[in-house]
């Protein structure tokens, strides 16, 4: 084990923990809110089961706005909101707020895209069999789109890791922040490289797992 890693191991473990919290909350937000939101986006589109122009336009606009914000500006812009719900705008917990919001917007768009790939006829067959909207979603759409949903989540998670690296600006910590503060600003290039390597390892693992799972569950 290289000496710098031993010397800084407490900080490194802490920063890995912070990254896990930030990315973990992002994933939760993506699945619990982004998935339903993306499904609603899809269903409210023209020609779909819950077609509603007003609803679609509003959801579409909100998702676009959040996604087109330079992320750093979004973080700053959300400070009052973060303070309102977390009580402070500084720290790892506070950092999860803008991350959760971008995560929801990011994944909901990918969910919408995956659902659009489901042949329209499959939904039609479901409706002809007397399926309710809920049945259509859970027994047909999600079943048919499942590998796209998994691949989308994989892409999203990797983006979340990337977003989490700049949360140092609001004291969120994490591996990226550690690499910048210790590695870059204190000229410990070796340490910085190790941190980048750790991130790379995570990204590789996530991508590999996502791709493998998506392939295994795809019977199309």
Q: What residue ranges bind other proteins (CB under 8 A)?
A: 119, 121-122, 124-132, 135, 139-140, 143-144, 146, 217-220
With 0-12 / 13-18 / 19 or more C-beta atoms within 10 angstroms meaning exposed / middle / buried, residue 187 is: exposed
Listed in sequence order, the residues at least 6 apart from 167 whose beta carbon sits closer than 8 Å to its beta carbon are: 22, 75, 92, 95, 99, 173, 174, 176, 177
CA max distance for the chain? 67
Shortest distance in whole angstroms from residue 156 CB to other proteins:
21
Shortest distance in whole angstroms from residue 55 CB to other proteins:
19
Listed in sequence order, the residues at least 6 apart from 184 whose beta carbon sits closer than 8 Å to its beta carbon are: 192
Shortest distance in whole angstroms from residue 9 CB to other proteins:
45
Nearer to other proteins, 124 or 190 (CB): 124
Nearer to other proteins, 84 or 125 (CB): 125
Nearer to other proteins, 143 or 200 (CB): 143
Shortest distance in whole angstroms from residue 142 CB to other proteins:
10
| Cα–Cα distance, 23 to 171 (Å, whole number) | 15
Nearer to other proteins, 126 or 179 (CB): 126
Degrees, nearest 5: CA angle 57-41-96: 100
Shortest distance in whole angstroms from residue 210 CB to other proteins:
17
Nearer to other proteins, 44 or 159 (CB): 44
DSSP string, 106-118: HHHHHHHHHHHTS
Please identify which residue in the block is written with the tokens 């199309």: 220
Picking from 49, 164, 50, the residue whose alpha carbon sits closest to that of residue 106 is 164
Nearer to other proteins, 127 or 166 (CB): 127
Query: In Å, how far from its chain's centre is CA 22?
Result: 10
Shortest distance in whole angstroms from residue 216 CB to other proteins:
11
């Amino acid at each position: 084990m290289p000496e710098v890693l031993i010397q800084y191991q407490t900080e490194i473990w802490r920063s890995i923990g912070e990254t896990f919290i930030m990315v973990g909350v992002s994933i939760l937000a993506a699945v619990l809110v982004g998935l339903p939101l993306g499904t609603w986006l899809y269903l409210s589109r023209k020609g779909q089961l819950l077609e509603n122009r007003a609803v679609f336009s509003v959801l579409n606009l909100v998702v676009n706005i959040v996604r087109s914000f330079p992320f750093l500006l979004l973080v700053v812009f959300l400070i009052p909101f973060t303070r309102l719900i977390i009580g402070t705008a500084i720290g790892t917990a506070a950092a999860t707020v803008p991350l959760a919001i971008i995560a929801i917007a990011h994944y909901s768009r990918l969910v919408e895209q995956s659902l659009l790939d489901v042949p329209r006829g499959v939904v039609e067959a479901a409706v002809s069999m007397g399926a309710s909207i809920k049945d259509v979603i859970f027994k047909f759409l999600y079943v048919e789109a499942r590998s796209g949903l998994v691949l989308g989540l994989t892409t999203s998670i990797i983006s979340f890791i990337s977003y989490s690296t700049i949360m140092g600006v609001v004291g969120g910590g994490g591996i990226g922040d550690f690499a910048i503060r210790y590695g870059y600003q204190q000229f410990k290039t070796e340490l910085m490289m190790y941190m980048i390597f750790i991130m790379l390892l995570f990204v590789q693992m996530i991508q590999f797992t996502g791709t493998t799972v998506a392939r295994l569950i795809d019977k199309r």
